[in-house]
Amino acid sequence: MITISNLSKSFTLHNQGAAVIPVMAGANLAVSAKECLGLVGASGSGKSTLMRMIWGNYLAASGSIIVGDVDVAKAAPREIIALRRGTLGYVSQFLRVVPRVPTVDVVAEPLLTLGVGADEARGRAMALLAQLNIPERLWSLSPTTFSGGEQQRVNIARGFVHPYPALLLDEPTASLDAVNREVVLSLIEAAKARGAAIIGIFHDEQARARLCDRLVDVTQFTPKAVQ
């Protein structure tokens, strides 16, 4: 489902003396359906960077990122948007939403852009929010005023409301208590079972052990000079 070949990336900071910072070289990995791959490595080694490159948020310097049948590294913007709509889901560490949209609409949005009817979309959103223990009285409020844990759960709900064939999860259980961590882990397991290919970053060792079929250490892709 997701195949990365010979991927490399560097940042060039033009306004800081044109400093070139190579962050990745020769990265290779593959994830198939029903598989969960864990990315490990020291902080700053490039785990989130790799994830953002798969999502299309960061540009690759060379190499290919095949998700389904689209090479994200070379695709046109509209192809990436179409991919993000139906095929590739992303739960990032930070919830970035429009400040005035109610939580239930934030979660329902991926379904609405796919053409699902408003009532059905909201219904599914509400079911997930309930599963993640977000109190009903918060559903009509914007998540910008929520606590970190609540925002994280809204983020997760949005990532799981549509059954994406491929999922990117960046620290999905951080800032969650034991009860909600359990809910999220079972959501991920369910996604795996129905055929999703998952790449995840988990700092929590137990979660890693439970979910990941394989682990990849990204420090092996960090260019030697920087190490």
Choices 31-39, 54-62, 188-196, 213-221 (CB under 8 A): range interacting with other proteins: 54-62
Q: How far is CA 204 from CA 18, 34, 180, 212, in A?
A: 37, 21, 14, 12
Choices 76-84, 148-156, 163-171, 172-180 (CB under 8 A): range interacting with other proteins: 76-84
Question: In what order do the strands lie in the sheet containing 197-201?
Answer: 88-91, 166-170, 197-201, 36-40, 214-217
Nearer to other proteins, 15 or 43 (CB): 15
Q: Is 69 helix (H, G, I), strand (E, B) or coil?
A: coil
Phi, psi at residue 147, to the nearest 5°? -70, 170
Choices 26-34, 74-82, 172-180, 195-203 (CB under 8 A): range interacting with other proteins: 74-82
97: DSSP letter: -
Nearer to other proteins, 42 or 59 (CB): 59
Q: Footprint of other proteins on residues 192-221 (CB under 8 A)?
A: none
Q: What tokens appear for 162 in the block?
A: 């549509």
**Rounded CA separation 201/62 (Å):** 23
**Smallest separation (angstroms) from other proteins to the CB of 18:** 8
- In DSSP terms, 16 is beta-bridged to none
20 binds other proteins (CB under 8 A): no
Selected binder of other proteins within 77, 135, 137, 205 (CB under 8 A): 77
Nearer to other proteins, 20 or 178 (CB): 20
End-to-end CA distance of the chain: give it in Å, rounded: 31
Choices 26-34, 49-57, 156-164, 189-197 (CB under 8 A): range interacting with other proteins: 49-57
Selected binder of other proteins within 19, 21, 42, 98 (CB under 8 A): 98
Give me the residues that bind other proteins (CB under 8 A), please: 11-15, 52, 56-59, 77-78, 80-81, 98-101, 112-113, 115
